[in-house]
Structures are given as structure tokens and as C-alpha cells.
Amino acid sequence: YDASGTFLGFHSKTLLCGSFSEPPQGEINEYATSPLKTFEIKGIRVGGLICNDMWGNPQCTPMPDPHLSQKLSKKGAQIIFLAINGGRDGGPWSEEVNWPYHEVNMRMRAAAGRLWVVSADNSFPHSVPCSAPSGVLKPNGQWAKQAPRQGEHVTIHTINLD
């Protein structure tokens, strides 16, 4: 929505998760996708991605990684808003593999596309650390602001596009 409340459109998850069985099971069969779009908000071109759309986790989807952040960059996006609902259990795999995989992919793709990335991971249950970082990444892949890894937090950062 723009400042006057006009609906601008939506992004539906593109890189759907599913099993590697034949036929695949999971959201790959449940959800519809739509073409990748950008939107203009107050003169700024932005895009949205949902979870696996950003990093193409090979454990979560039989689909090839289409590098959607780079496609949004080529469409003129300056900022990507990334909604995350990564699976986690608080165990060693989540801590040692999933978190670093998600963070490194976010940072590399922000830098590759010269994009700001604003991310928010699901924090529930609050007793388990998040699966991916929430915060604001600069176009050089460095963190401008990052939320704590566990619990519900509000993180604010002013993005300077100059």
C-alpha cells in the first residue's frame, strides 16, 4: 500500500519448499506463485521476498535457485523486504549450519545486487533462537542494524539512499 492506502500489489513466494520424493510434497504443491515484481513507494523502487526466495536452501526445495534478489536488482529495486519463517529447533544444526547459511547468503546477495535488505524472522517460540538474522543490511553486505537472535524485538534504522 502507498501512503494514501492504495494497494500496490503483492509478492507470493516463488522458490517453494518441498520434499525430494517423486512427486514432491509440501508447499510446492499447495501455493501459487506470481511473476516477480517491484513497487514504488515514495519514489523508491522496492521488492519483497519470502524466506527461501532469498537463499535457495538445497535442503528445503527441489527447485533450482533463480537468484531472485539479483533479478529484483536488475528491475531497479534499491531495497528488498525479506519475511522469514525458517525452521529451527535450537539445536546444533540450527546454530552451526542454518544461521550461518542464511546470514552469509543474505550478506552476499545484498552486496552482489548492491541492495539494502530489511529482514524479519519469525521469533516464536521465544524460547528458541531465530533461524536467520533480522535487521538491516547495507548494499555492501555489512549490517547497519541487527536485532538480537532470540525473542521479539523492534529494530529501527534510517536508510540513506544518497
- What are 108-118's pLDDT values in tens digits? 999 999 999 99
Distance (Å, rounded) from C-alpha 67 to C-alpha 80? 13
Counting the structural domains of the chain, the total is: 1
Query: Is 111 contained in some domain?
Result: yes
Query: Is 126 contained in some domain?
Result: yes
Query: Is 96 contained in some domain?
Result: yes
Residue 75: the pLDDT is 98
Residue 109: the pLDDT is 98
DSSP class per residue in 139-156: TTS-EEEE--SSS-----
What CATH number did the domain enclosing 122 receive?
3.60.110.10
Three-class secondary structure of residue 41 per DSSP: strand
Give yes or no for a cis peptide into 129 (omega within 30° of 0).
no
- State the number of CA atoms in the 13 A half-sphere of 36 facing the CB: 22
Q: Could you list the residue range(s) of the whole structural domain that residue 61 is in?
A: 27-146
pLDDT band with cut points at 50, 70 and 90 for residue 138: very high
Q: Which element (helix H / strand E) includes 117? A: strand 116-121
Average pLDDT of the residues in 29-45: 92
